[in-house]
Every structure is written in C-alpha cells, then in structure tokens.
Structure 1
Amino acid sequence: MPREHAETGRVELRLKPEDKAVLARAAALERLDLTSFILRAALPRAQDVIAQSERLKLSERDSLRVLDLLENPPAPTERLTRAAKGGFVLE
C-alpha cells in the first residue's frame, strides 16, 4: 500500500559540529533520528511558551474586581439595550 506523505515544512539549524555530535549521540541512544529527537524536546516547550503567553494574568485586586462585576454587573447603557434589541447602528 502506498504511503501518503503529509506536506511538511523544512527548518534548517546551524550547529557547531560538537553540538550536532551531542544531539546525534543522544538521538541514537534514544533510538530516534535527529529530527524526532529535537522535535520531542522542542514541541512541548513551544506549546508551554504559547500557553503561558495566551493566559490572562490578573492581580488579586483585578481578580476581585472581575468577580464583583460578574456578581454585580452594571446596568446596561441605552446603546447596549438598543443593540440587544437589534437596533444597533455603527457610529
């Protein structure tokens, strides 16, 4: 059965020979090719960096303010009331 090849991107790394040798040796010890070894280490770290960057961080004071607004929302403005009824006009 023929194998389907997913479209892949190519990334090039410029390494000092001694760094490449270390990575290659570690990959061999794990019975992985160099690409798989690097991806196994780099992808989880990249996902962590993205998750931390997208996470909203609030101070205790701001957290309490958000909770207060959720429990005691302000009265809607006239403009918001019109928008909710379908009468919203961009100004």
Structure 2
Amino acid sequence: MSTKTDRLNLRCSAATLETLKAAAEVQDQDLTSFILGAALDRARKVLAEDHSLRLTPREVLDLERALDADPEVVPQLAALIRGARTPSSASAK
C-alpha cells in the first residue's frame, strides 16, 4: 500500500460541497474517499479512451480508405442474417 504524502486542495461553492457531502453519505464514505474515488474513475476512463482512440497518421489513412471503400459482402454473415430473420417472419404467419 502506498503512503499518502501528497495533498490536493480545491475550492467549490457551498452548494457543491453540500451535494458532495450528501452523496458521500449515501455511499457511506467520507468526503475525501468519495471525491478521490470519483475522480480516479473518471481519470482512468479518460486515459483509457485517449489510449484506445489515438491513431498514427498511417492508421488514419487506413481508416479513411476502409470507410471510403465499397462494402464487401461476406456470404457467411449474409446467410446468418437471413437465418436470424426467418424465425420472426415464420412466427408472424
């Protein structure tokens, strides 16, 4: 377990503080744990999204070409889709 040595200060309105306190209480957490947990969750999502959405210039060109290309029919997928439609149309008869 890492030692907590750094400090984070922030300012907010009285209404914001009351909202945060009420939410922390509902979650049965102290205010620090509630705010830190929420902030860490959001930070991890932002970093994961940034990591997964970052493309190299080459990847951007490849993606643009793929989006501009004519659609390719995959016979197995087309058959699967036709098969998925059949039961619902049969039950309608």
Give the TM-score normalised by structure 1. Answer: 0.54
Specify the alignment match of 1:9 in structure 2: 6
Q: What displacement does 1:22 show?
A: 0.6
Among residues 4, 20, 28, which one is paired with 1:23 in the alignment?
Answer: 20
What pairs up with 1:68-87 in 2 under 5 angstroms? none
Among residues 31, 36, 42, which one is paired with 2:33 in the alignment?
Answer: 36
Please, what is the CA RMSD of the aligned residues? 2.5
Provide the C-alpha distance between the structure 1 equivalents of 2:34 and 2:4, rounded to a whole number of angstroms.
Answer: 20
Among residues 47, 52, 55, which one is paired with 2:49 in the alignment?
Answer: 52
Aligned residues: 61
Provide the C-alpha distance between the structure 1 equivalents of 2:3 and 2:18, rounded to a whole number of angstroms.
Answer: 29
- Counting aligned pairs with the same residue, the percent is 38
| Unmatched 5+ stretches in structure 1 | 66-91
Supply the AA of the counterpart residue of 2:62. Answer: D
* Distance verdict in 2 for CA 1:5–1:40, change over 3 Å: closer
Provide the C-alpha distance between the structure 2 equivalents of 1:34 and 1:47, rounded to a whole number of angstroms.
Answer: 20
Q: What displacement does 1:43 show?
A: 0.6
